[in-house]
Amino acid sequence: MTALRSGRAARNRGGAAAQRVLIDTDCGVDDAVAAAILLSNPATAVAGIGTTDGNCSASQAAINVTRLLACAGCADTPLSVGTPSLPLRTVSPHGSDGFGDVYDRSISPRATTESPSQRIVRSGRERPGELVLLALGPLTNLAAALDLDANALRRFRRVVICGGMGFRDEAAVVRQRYPEYLVKGDTNTALNPDATERVVQAPGTFTWIGMNVTGLFRFRVDRVCAEPPRDPLAALLREIHGKYIAHCTSYYRATEPIFTSHDGVAATLVANPSLIRSQQPGVPAVESLRSVSSSRPELWAQHSTAPGYPKTSQHHFVTAVNERKVADCIAAAFRGVRGGPRTVDS
């Protein structure tokens, strides 16, 4: 198989067959996996990246993205830095810098003066119905884009959100298969519930990839990293995962070192939609974000349409995926294999 670097820059400037993706991220270690998957897949072209507060500050996330793009050979990918919007997390499994605290922070991001929300609005207007907007962190920048243009999200072919918990009536299944997630909740929708509420009410076509799907995957380090990395980007992914692996191994009481990759699952499904086995229409249960009965806010989907819900909003929730091949694609990113494994069809 071919190393990642060959031809990557040309692919990500976009071709007629490439799916163009605009990424919004709080760039922690699993966001880096997601970006690596999209930057290395010949079926996707990253049109730009915006950062937001979450795993780390938006400014630190921009430093992380800059380092990642340099390793990927895509330093010319447009980067927009979000403004401070959330309290800084003093303790994070991603490390204080979002990248496991393994690098110094002397890099200066090569960012545009355009804000992430401005880029979202402009990209949708310039390429209506063409781009996919992938949200990998709190929905702060998406909500800010709605302040600039109420139809900002409607102009994207679809808005894919790595967030939520899936359908509420499947909570028993979630509890049985991976009970930790009912305690942990979903960080991306929970950290800025005001922004989440605005986004779910906005007109547009949305695909939610929630904990019901991303929580299926726990990767054994010895299996994913059995061979030396083939590329600087793969080497970066391994370097930044140290603290995160320690956290996941302890949290899930694993007997072998493991890690999860929620954002990596979402990116894999954007790059390879055929790996989605099923998705169902529904409505985000936004009121649960304000529930006092939960230790953390949660966003569940419901099958029935709530009265007064805008008909211009269409939400689909992924409910099943090709688990083996999704796992193969994520493992390929850690090995430095371009575009994932050769067999990615369902």
Q: What is residue 312's predicted lDDT score, i.e. its pLDDT? A: 77
Q: What is the mean pLDDT of residues 27-47?
A: 95
Residue 16: pLDDT above 80? no
pLDDT at position 67 over 60: yes
pTM of the model: 0.91
Is residue 34 over pLDDT 90? yes
Residue 254 pLDDT exceeds 60? yes
Dihedral of the CA atoms 43, 141, 247, 109 (nearest 10)?
Answer: 80
Most confident of 1-15, 98-112, 206-220: 206-220
Please state, rounded to an integer, the average pLDDT across all residues of the chain: 87
pLDDT at residue 299, rounded to an integer: 87
Q: What pLDDT shows up at residue 69?
A: 96
Does residue 344 lie within any of the structural domains? no
Residue 341 placed within a domain: no
Average pLDDT over residues 86-113: 87
**Token pair 């519930």 in the structure block, residue:** 193
| Residue 32 within a domain | yes
Could you tell me if residue 118 is inside a domain? Answer: yes
**What is the average pLDDT across 217-234?**
91
At what angle are helices 116-126 and 140-148 packed, to 10 degrees? 60
Of the chain, the percentage scoring pLDDT greater than 90 comes to: 66
Whether 1 is covered by a domain: the verdict is no
Q: What is the mean pLDDT of residues 22-44?
A: 96
In this structure, are residues 48 and 23 in contact, taking their beta carbons and an 8 Å threshold?
yes
pLDDT score for 10:
39
- Is residue 61 in a domain? yes
Please check the confidence at residue 345 and state whether its pLDDT lies above 60.
no
80: domain CATH number? 3.90.245.10
Place of tokens 């702060």: 140
**Is position 19 within any domain?**
yes
Instruction: List all residues 6 or more positions away from 213 whose beta carbon is below 8 Å from its beta carbon.
Output: 166, 265, 318, 319, 320, 321
- Indicate if the pLDDT at residue 8 is higher than 50: no
Confidence band (pLDDT; 50, 70, 90) for 306? low
The residues pairing with 46 across neighbouring beta strands, listed in sequence order, are 21
Query: Could you give the number of structural domains in the chain?
Result: 1
Structural domain including 272 reads 8-335
- Interatomic CA distance for residues 51 and 99, integer angstroms: 14
List of residues 6+ apart from 254 with CB closer than 8 A:
218, 248
- 344 pLDDT more than 50: no
Q: Is residue 342 part of a domain?
A: no
3-class SS at 283?
A: strand
Sign of CA dihedral 166, 171, 177, 181: positive
